[in-house]
Amino acid sequence: MVVIKLVAILAAIIAYFGLLGFGPWYRQLPVQLAALAAVVVWDALRRSWRETLGLLKGTLPFIASLLFFGVIFQLARLQGRTDWLHDTLIKCVIFPSSLVFLRAILSYITYLDILALPLSMDRRFDLITVKAAFQKGGQALGRFTWYLEGYPYLAAEPGWRGALRHQAAKYASLILSLYLFLYEETEHAYLLLQNRYRHLQEGSQ
Amino acid sequence: MRIPAGEYDLPERQVRLALEADLELAAERSIYVITGNNGLGKTSFLERVVIPALRREAMPYLYLGQDAGLQLYTIRASLAVQGLGLGRLSEADLLRVWLKQSPEARVLLLDEFDKYEPDPATLVAESRDFITTYIMITHGDPQAARALAGDWPAHHLRFHLVEWAGGVKRVRVEREAPWL
């Protein structure tokens, strides 16, 4: 049963990216916008509007940098192309929509599902650890963004160069914070899990 | 800048605050010590009222939250992005560097920082040259917190539960006369 559920989730992910990310609907901006709206409502109903909007807010620096380069490339008609702006807008919708979609659909995989998988205990530990760490990472992302917005040395400087440097520094800090957090959290969760498993085994012998 | 007296809704904590007197921030040297029982919206007051007001006024500030363990990731990462190699620094030293990197800051907010290292006294000593207003939430002795700022004017903000009705806590924030 668990395997069927996971296969269904995997199929939904492949279908989503197959249709919207790489397939026939990729260039359909209205479809992309509708998909974004749908996954946002779905995720908000599963969690809360605050969490969903927090995730979207976390993607804003990346979207802003995408837009910036899209406009520059469009103005420069890079490689003779005139569709840079349209292509950038699509990517600006796909990026948050994919993140929200993945978070929403992966939330249906529970720890019990992982435990019931026909895998070795070590592999199940790995999957549980990854799920636990990323779940915490998702929760921490909004808080990290909020903290970083307050540090005086990351404040925006005048002019567009200053604004760009500020966004880049903030975004880099966010990614690095998340990386450091996930690195420690993964290690911590794995050790905790192994420790508890060992005690349970000792207790049952 | 001023946080005006009045009513403030903190829906995520189901608290309605009545701030009895204006708070003057960064106008002159001062320290605000905030006390009150858990669940009365002290942290939310800082994060939903005071800090947004500081941001609106573009008043540089530093805030160490209750979840400093989580916040330290952002401090370590953001300082590394500034080109400072901080991989091996202890948390206490990291915070000292963080303060030194932020001489523009005028307000330092510490939320229950009594339980962390370095202690608030060290943080105050390291930042007295540029900070003009300290705001501290403490569950410890308010006099001890007040003493950190030496002879600066100090104010005590007490969060009192007035009524808990319809799932909403009505909390009065009394500002006591400045300590001498």
Q: How far off is chain B from A148, nearest CA to CA, in Å? A: 7
Residue B158 pLDDT more than 80?
A: yes
Angle between helices A121-148 and B68-81 (to 10 degrees): 70
pLDDT of residue B59: 93
Q: Give the chain A residue nearest B74 (alpha carbons).
A: A177
pLDDT in tens, A48-85: 898 888 888 878 878 888 888 889 888 888 888 888 88
Query: In the predicted model, what is the mean pLDDT of residues B112-137?
Result: 86
pLDDT of residue B100: 93
> Does B71 reach chain A within 8 Å, measured CB to CB?
yes
Which string of b and e fits B40-62 if b means at least 16 CB within 10 Å?
Answer: bbbbbbbbbbbbebbeeeebbbb
pLDDT band at B13 (very low <50, low <70, confident <90, very high): confident
Q: DSSP code of A110?
A: -
Q: Please answer yes or no on whether B73 and A144 come within 8 Å at the CB atom.
A: yes
Backbone angles phi, psi at A73, to 5 degrees: -65, -40
User: How far is residue A21's CA from residue A32's CA, in Å, rounded to a whole number?
Assistant: 9
Task: Tell me whether 0.85 is exceeded by the ipTM.
Answer: yes
**Which residues in chain B have their CB less than 8 angstroms from residue A152's CB?**
60-62, 102, 104-105
Q: Give the chain A residue nearest B100 (alpha carbons).
A: A153
pLDDT in tens, A10-22: 999 999 999 988 8
pLDDT in tens, A103-148: 899 889 998 999 888 888 888 888 888 888 878 887 788 899 899 9
**How much of chain B exceeds pLDDT 90, in percent?**
54
User: How far is residue A7's CA from residue A124's CA, in Å, rounded to a whole number?
Assistant: 17
> Does B132 reach chain A within 8 Å, measured CB to CB?
no
Query: In the predicted model, what is the mean pLDDT of residues B35-49?
Result: 93
Between A and B, how many residue pairs show a Cβ–Cβ distance under 8 A?
67
Q: Give the chain B residue nearest A176 (alpha carbons).
A: B77
Q: How far off is chain A from B76, nearest CA to CA, in Å? A: 8
**Structure token pair of residue A128:** 């549980």
Query: In the predicted model, what is the mean pLDDT of residues B89-108?
Result: 91
Residue B179 pLDDT more than 70?
A: no
User: How far is residue B142's CA from residue B145's CA, in Å, rounded to a whole number?
Assistant: 5
3-state secondary structure string, chain B? CEECCEEEEEHHHCEEEEECCCEECCCCCEEEEEEECCCCCHHHHHHHHHHHHHHHCCCCEEEECCCHHHHHHHHHHHHHHCCCCCCCCCHHHHHHHHHHCCCCCCEEEEECHHHCCCCHHHHHHHHCCCCCEEEEECCCCHHHHHHCCCCCCEEEEEEEEEEEECCEEEEEEEECCCEC
pLDDT in tens, A156-179: 777 878 888 888 898 899 989 999
Residue B136 in contact with residue B32, Cβ under 8 Å?
yes
User: How far is residue B45's CA from residue B51's CA, in Å, rounded to a whole number?
Assistant: 9
pLDDT of residue A190: 83
Query: In the predicted model, what is the mean pLDDT of residues B21-29?
Result: 84
Domain range B29-157, CATH class: alpha beta
Q: Please answer yes or no on whether A149 and B70 come within 8 Å at the CB atom.
A: no
Q: Please answer yes or no on whether A169 and B81 come within 8 Å at the CB atom.
A: yes
**Structure token pair of residue A183:** 């690195």
Query: In the predicted model, what is the mean pLDDT of residues B109-138?
Result: 86
**How much of chain A exceeds pLDDT 70, in percent?**
100
**CA angle (B70, B74, B75) in 5-degree steps:** 105
pLDDT in tens, B61-87: 999 999 888 999 999 999 999 888 767
Mutate to test the interface with A, among B73, B86, B91, B106 (most CBs of A within 10 A): B73
Q: Please answer yes or no on whether B82 and A149 come within 8 Å at the CB atom.
A: no
Q: Tell me which residue in A143, A150, A154 faces B70 most closely, judged by beta carbons.
A: A143
pLDDT of residue B177: 66
